[in-house]
Amino acid sequence: MVVPVVENLTRRVGRFMHDDDLRVELQSLLKGGLETKIEPRAWDQAKVDFILSRLREIDAGDYENKLVEAGFTLYPWGEGDDAQSCETCMYYVVHRRFCELPELMMPVEADWSCTLWRI
């Protein structure tokens, strides 16, 4: 009975290592000057729906275009109490540093941001 638990743990560790590698690649794209659509912000449902529909057209593994369409930045958007970062978004999984928005499903950093931020 111990073997399946160890095997399951190995799979989980492997997944997290893949997330870390992908997160580094995504950060490199953003640091390298990838232009993303940070405006307009998704302040109302019509804008949210529009951005989500664009993301649904992108292949699941096409992270570069996901970054572009979702308007990712390497820093929180806004200032002070109004600052929006992945860390404060309802889709952010803290221990995995991951965005669970179904249209994104990708590793992120806590201080990144995108136009689909939600509390």
- pLDDT grade for 16, boundaries at 50, 70 and 90: low
Separation in Å, CA 84 to CA 78, 103, 119: 6, 19, 9
Summarised one tens digit per residue, pLDDT across range 104-115 is 999 999 999 999
Model confidence pLDDT, tens digit, residues 19-28: 999 999 999 9
| Tokens coding 101 | 């928005």
In whole angstroms, what is the distance from residue 67 CA to residue 51 CA? 12
Rounded Cα–Cα distance for residues 72 and 23 (Å): 13
Q: What is the per-residue pLDDT across 35-55, written as a single tens digit (0 to 9) for each?
A: 999 998 898 999 999 999 999
CA 90 – CA 54 distance, rounded (Å): 21
